[in-house]
Chain A
Amino acid sequence: MNSGIEKDVEAKDTTEEHSDNSENTKSDSMSKGDAKKFYEEKGLDLSPDVPVKPKPIPTFEKSLADKISSKFGDKLRVDYVRADRIRVTTKREDIIDVAKFIRDELKYDHAESVSGVDYPDSSEIEVIYHLGSYTDEKLGRQIFALATRVPREDIPNPGSDATRTPSLRDVFYSVEFHERECFEMFGVYFEGHPDMRRLLLPEDWADIPPFRKDFKIKGR
């Protein structure tokens, strides 16, 4: 098919395109100062890695987001509405009500994943439920991200400290094992979960939950 020479040519092409782009950005920013000029002469690229392209907000997703925000008002914040993806954040006290609304009114019927994200700077752990739908034809390509934040303690004591949130197992049955994983990896206790035990880690794990940011892996 393609010989090696052709491949080389292609590679050159792509690099040329890249240099073209960077030259364009350079010519825009040339006038901004000598320091930038200095760096650019050295060959360092100062253009942002991610090109900012504003996209139109899709209507169907917007209607779903409007539905839920009109119901709950300021109890809930819509973080973004993109093509096929909606994300809302709510307080942990309201999460069961919001989840019930999502299940009954918006017809999302299962959870794809439950992930935690540790934010030590703001001393919080975020728990995100990615919800999807099998039954509704229109929602097939949608993912609804429902997030909540729980307080984080510097010296964790999983199960008996303030890092806890209501479990969504009664609303979405499929979160059972995901929540167990989140419990051992972040120390977030899910209240009302019938079986909050360790799942993946060894039985004798005595360290802090490993996915927290202050748990450093060796040599790093």
Chain B
Amino acid sequence: MLKELLNQDTAPHATNVLVGKLGDVLIRAVGKPFDMAINWGRIYSLWPVHLETACCSVEFGAASSPRYDVERFGIIEAFGSLRQCDLIVVMGTITRKMAPRLRMVYDQMPDPKYVIAMGACAITGGLYFDSYNVLPGIDGILPVDVYVPGCPPRPETLIQGCMLLQEKIKRTKAK
């Protein structure tokens, strides 16, 4: 396999693939003892994508205001490019027009990535259960890690949801 990859004629993008494979090998070799260290690094860099989908973004904004100041936990730093994010907070209702875009944004994010469904609309459709243009919850299109209920959730609830996600990351194997 290695020989195939090193042959530039058969595999034009071989170098990238090779680096990726080497990374896999490295993780498998050092994985177990370094799991804790890798996860520890990850839980303090949960930066979300800037994708506002509905009205819960008001409370999301309030979470970084001086009173709640969520950045003191090292999470939900308000800005960042899509390529540098590892968290997507789905803030509220997902309409049928937004759903393909949401999936597209999720697909472009690098691994590992986590999803928080914020608000009743993102969980089940909420108040808009009978609207013709609203998805009944986002778990049909994204794998959700933490559900944060409320309509809209208070900033404290969002912070608690993020801490639950941190707990979850601590207990999983580093990929």
Contacts and interface: CB of A to CB of B under 8 A. Distances in A.
Q: Do the two chains touch directly in the complex (Cβ atoms below 8 Å apart)?
A: yes
Interface of A: 201-203, 207, 210, 215, 217-220
A186 to B, nearest CB: 14
A118 to B, nearest CB: 15
Given A201-B133, A215-B132, 11 more contacts: A201-B97, A202-B95, A202-B96, A202-B133, A207-B132, A217-B131, A217-B132, A218-B130, A219-B129, A219-B130, A220-B130
B37 to A, nearest CB: 45
Interface residues of B, number: 8
Interface of B: 95-97, 129-133
Contacts of A219: 129-130
Contacts of B131: 217
Nearest to A218: B130
Contacts of A218: 130, 132
14 contacts: A201-B133, A202-B95, A202-B96, A202-B97, A202-B133, A207-B132, A210-B132, A210-B133, A215-B132, A217-B131, A217-B132, A218-B132, A219-B129, A219-B130
B94 to A, nearest CB: 12
A205 to B, nearest CB: 8
* Most interface-central of B95, B97, B129, B131 (chain A CB within 10 A): B97
